[in-house]
Amino acid sequence: MRHIDGDTFDFGGMQVSVLSPPADWHTTAQPKNNDSLVFQIHFGESSMLLEGDAERAVEQRMAASHELKSDLPTVAHHGSATSSTAEFVHTVHPRWAIISVGFGNTFGHPRRETLEHLQEEGSLTYRTDRNGAVTFYLDGHTISPQLASVR
C-alpha cells in the first residue's frame, strides 16, 4: 500500500498522519532523500515526527500545510545542513530530539548549525554517535528517554 500526504491511520492506539510524499510525487529509479516517507504520530498528549532524510524543500512544504509541533522529532538526514533550518525547528518546537548518526562519520553529521537550531529552541538533543541506542517511552502523557549505553 502506498501512503501519501493526508493519509491517516490508527496503529496500536496511536494516530499516524502521513505528511510526505504528496500525491503527485514521482520517484526515479535512484531514490533521493526527499522521497522519504514522513510521519507524525500522536499518542495521547505526546507526539513524534519521523522525517527520514527529508530536506529543506519538503520541510518547507510540510510547514506550509501541516501543524508540525511535535515533542520528539527524529532529526532529518542525520542532522545534515540540508534539513532542519532554524524556521523549521522553530515550527516543530521540540522538547527533545534524536539524531541517528554514525560515530566518526565522514560527512560531518550532525552539522553544527543543526545542533545550534535545536539548542536555540530549547530541545534536549540525543545523538546515537554519542549516546548509543536511545529509546523513548511514550505513555500518552509524558515522554521518557532511556539510554542503553553512553560512549
| C-alpha R_g of the chain | 15
Residue 84 lies in a domain: yes
| Count of domains for the chain | 1
pLDDT digits over 17-73, tens only? 999 998 888 888 898 988 899 999 999 999 999 999 999 999 999 999 999 999 999
CATH classification at residue 59: 3.60.15.10
- Please write the tens of the pLDDT for every residue from 7-27: 999 999 999 999 999 888 888
How far is CA 70 from each of CA 30, 67, 74, 90, 106, rounded to the nearest angstrom?
31, 9, 10, 11, 30
User: How many angstroms separate the CA atoms of 68 and 48, rounded?
Assistant: 9
Write down the mean pLDDT value for the chain. Answer: 92
**What pLDDT score was predicted for residue 31?**
87
Is 101 within a domain? yes
Residue 111 lies in a domain: yes
Lowest mean pLDDT among 11-15, 100-104, 125-129, 143-147: 143-147
